Amino acid sequence: MVTGQRGRPRSFDRDAALDKAMLTFWEHGYEATSIADLTRTLGIGAPSLYAAFGDKRKLFDEVVVVYGSRYGDFAAVALREEPTAGAAMGRILREAAEIYTDPGHPPGCMVISAAANTTSREVAEALRERRNGNLAAFESRIRADVASGVLPADTDARALARYAGAVLQGMSQQSRDGATREELEAVAELALLAWPR
């Protein structure tokens, strides 16, 4: 009698799995995404998920890195490439309107929306640190423009950076609530009117 032979294991595409997990976390947030959701989305069993990624938190940490490199680094690129903080912020807000409403992925910013309603202090803190890192980068660039005379000497760099962050966070939520690219572009243009001249 021939005993059942195990088939050759399917190859596991880690990058494809991370992409799928990213979209799931982005759509539902960290808290609402269950292991069952992830195994169903990735097409693997829980033991395989744990073997490949450790646990849900470790998978999420990897996903955040992938998200940052593919969708979240536009602000850092603009700050690096544009000649002034104001030009960088204009580019950031306009690109956010495009990225946050792109139909090819869930709306908004995953780093902003994935933290909503999470009971994991560690996840909430890790995402807060990423957002605060962006604010620190904004503030540093604004301070450099103040020091070089591009912005008025009395510019409150911290408040201006926080204002920019608040507009971005609001745009992210508005996109999740159905705002279109054109509507968010209009928000970006209005927000830029507050930029010091």
* Number of Cβ within a 10 Å radius of residue 3: 4
Q: What is the mean pLDDT of the chain?
A: 91
Q: Where are the beta strands (DSSP E) in 57-162?
A: none
What phi and psi values does residue 114 have, to the nearest 5 degrees? -65, -20
Distance, in Å, from the CA atom of 62 to the CA atom of 70, rounded to the nearest integer, reads 13
Res 10: pLDDT: 55
What digits encode the pLDDT tens for the residues 96-107? 999 999 999 999
DSSP3 helix / strand / coil % (the chain, rounded to 5): 70, 0, 30
What digits encode the pLDDT tens for the residues 49-82? 999 999 999 999 999 999 998 888 899 999 999 9
